Structure 1
């Protein structure tokens, strides 16, 4: 008996839905056991296509139910050991280890227009302090450097603003005390300039690795994700009986929206890719489905860590023989080879470089500032041209009036 659960069990079908072949990690393992123990297998698929959970009437669904009812001898699938299951079935030695995490679609916020790039390099208190220092030093230097004909508040407001941008000045105080204050401000401006440049460079160049949440509770309350999981599994029962507040909240959310109990792994991945849903599922199985697809990422801590096993009918007569050869496949290196065959090399979706391209979205505020400056310049030019035309028309009209007045005087 088996249930589709890639890559443990993979069912190949034709266009009409007829099963062509069954393969996968556990099928290969089972073929090894067939050869060693010289037996044949009659395959059976549970109608509800579930692993097995207890039902209200005391019976079981899925593969566990078929084992309990004696309709199958072995359940070929990644089954977790739970106390309720241990009352109705037996288990093989461990064949794998799995944990549950949250699978979500990777965010694309880095492509959004970032209007605060050049402002957020410093905290707003730093900006406020810089403005206050600029005004205070400009006003204070006027008094410190008196008497000096070159010194005015307007001059030093402009000069100190240029110092913040590392621009030189031909106008400096003539007295020693004034120059000391001036040079100290220039050195402070240099430190501010280099600090700002360094922070801005890192902000523009380094990839932002912030994640939308760090825990299951944050995923639901702060990031506003819905939690989906595969129905008919042991961890659905764990969620139902849990005392953990975050897990209980996730299960309550699933009960409110039964659509979050998905029938297949593929359906869960599709749901996570099309809606704001985090797929709460076994990392090994889903990683096989999403292998090489860097659109998804795993977040949050690991939940329900456990070994997975084959399932036996209770008191199966040849269970000891199966257990012995399953153990032998692990010690002789067969299981590691099968794992490498079906999972292959670990796929990584981390960036090959910690740096990102300098995109328009990051520098849009600079272009906006240039556009505002160009627009203001053109507007002032048009105003000047208009005022000049009005002035010339006024002067021309004034000359005409003078000439007319002169003509009238001559006539009389």
Structure 2
């Protein structure tokens, strides 16, 4: 065992507390939660690998405040442990046997551990999240990409507004016929607003103030709508849409029941107990499939869970959010689902009758009030958001990096499809007009011959 003094001794006699942490195999997955213990903690705290180690940052402050020396206990346990076959396993076994005083990791506050352990003042609130394999990015470069800026409801409203405005304009023009107002057929009246929407000029403009005001407001509305359409089209062309396998817990329950999906949990977390004890119908269905139909895989580490999800797409990992955030930021092949589950509190776990439990909780309360813990949490999230690995992942996986690349023919084909459709429709209308003119010409010729 190695003695580690967090700060120089002060007035009272130095108190020694035995601490157990997780072995280094988990450190790479959860640097913020566990960190790497070195023989000189003052140097370790400056290491970038331990910059966001919340628990050991708090222990360092507590050591300074309470004049405490920590004794790191060497052990072979790699998980928190639980109650199995009448005995406790993992780090909880060390607590029960009083081989250690506290655990140097944040622990989920659960009633199942109160028989052998106590908790300090809660450090932060977290929740259970779902890690899935990164979904494929969907892009549609055909003609329909030109309509993707608005949904079908918006396009229907635009078409209905054109017809409705055409009716109003037709009534206005015929009502003001005696005031020398321009006259339009119903089709021409509707075409006026269709031309405005397409930013075309009018072949004849109304003479009355009412008609001009009505048309002017439509011009203003169409310009605003065009700006919104341009922004939506730019976003559609520059990025694809991710299709997640599920968006709600009901959809996840259906996939587990009927599509062969399996739930993955990590042995040191209590996520499976949360699912088991939940009163929600969808989670009850999921637990039934997990326990009865054997659609449950329990892994020994979060790294193993991530590898399993990558290799088996029909699996999802349910665990506390923080380690999953680290996994998603370090590997672009996995990401967090949109759905979040129930929240819980994380705390420092101590053995029963720990003599400094009250002092620890009081000092943690001071650290919470001073914003010390919140500051470390913010730094952790900023670190994840600015992760270079994450930026490289997005660029390599989805092709939407920071470098600008010109559109290729496949990405720009929607414009050519629009031109082809417009040309085809124009030719069709041209043929109709020619047929109409030819019929009129035949009718006039016959009437002329009849008069002669």
**TM-score normalised according to structure 1 size:** 0.60
Matched, 1:230 2:257: no
Deviation at 1:84, TM superposition (A): 2.8
In the alignment, what sits opposite 2:304?
267
Q: Which moved more, 1:281-290 or 1:208-217?
A: 208-217
Q: 1:211 to 1:191 in 2, by over 3 A?
A: farther
Alignment of 1:332-351 (within 5 A): 336=372, 340=376, 344=380, 346-347=382-383, 349=385
Q: Distance in 2 between matches of 1:164 and 1:335?
A: 55
Deviation at 1:308, TM superposition (A): 1.8
Contact 2:129 2:318 in 1 (8 A): yes
In the alignment, what sits opposite 2:6?
none
Q: 1:339 to 1:249 in 2, by over 3 A?
A: farther
In the alignment, what sits opposite 2:88?
60
Q: Distance in 2 between matches of 1:85 and 1:242?
A: 18
Q: Distance in 2 between matches of 1:164 and 1:345?
A: 45
Contact 2:166 2:189 in 1 (8 A): yes
SS of corresponding position for 1:9: coil
In the alignment, what sits opposite 2:215?
186
Deviation at 1:307, TM superposition (A): 2.9
Q: Distance in 2 between matches of 1:253 and 1:79?
A: 28
In the alignment, what sits opposite 1:16?
none
Gaps of 5+ in 1: 13-21, 381-412
Matched, 1:286 2:335: no
Matched, 1:101 2:101: no
Alignment of 1:152-171 (within 5 A): 156=188, 160=192, 161-171=194-204
1:75-126 Cα deviation digits (max 9, x unpaired): 4433233323212x12242473241232456666574443523663834144
Q: Distance in 1 between matches of 2:203 and 2:100?
A: 95
Deviation at 1:369, TM superposition (A): 0.7
1:53-87 Cα deviation digits (max 9, x unpaired): 333x4333332244445666654433233323212
**TM-score normalised according to structure 2 size:** 0.56
Deviation at 1:259, TM superposition (A): 5.2
Q: 1:184 to 1:62 in 2, by over 3 A?
A: same
Q: Distance in 1 between matches of 2:70 and 2:384?
A: 41
Q: Distance in 1 between matches of 2:186 and 2:373?
A: 79
Contact 2:265 2:305 in 1 (8 A): yes
Q: Distance in 2 between matches of 1:335 and 1:153?
A: 72
SS of corresponding position for 1:320: coil
Q: Distance in 1 between matches of 2:56 and 2:196?
A: 74
Q: Distance in 2 between matches of 1:171 and 1:32?
A: 80
Deviation at 1:320, TM superposition (A): 0.7
In the alignment, what sits opposite 2:74?
43
In the alignment, what sits opposite 1:81?
109
In the alignment, what sits opposite 2:41?
none
Deviation at 1:306, TM superposition (A): 1.1
Contact 1:97 1:307 in 2 (8 A): yes
Q: Which has the higher contact order (CA 8 A, sep 6+)?
A: 1
In the alignment, what sits opposite 1:390?
none
In the alignment, what sits opposite 2:447?
none
SS of corresponding position for 1:52: coil
Q: Which moved more, 1:270-279 or 1:233-242?
A: 270-279
Deviation at 1:156, TM superposition (A): 3.4
In the alignment, what sits opposite 1:370?
419
Q: Distance in 1 between matches of 2:61 and 2:75?
A: 19
Larger radius of gyration: 1
Q: Distance in 2 between matches of 1:154 and 1:79?
A: 73
Contact 1:80 1:308 in 2 (8 A): yes
In the alignment, what sits opposite 1:9?
34
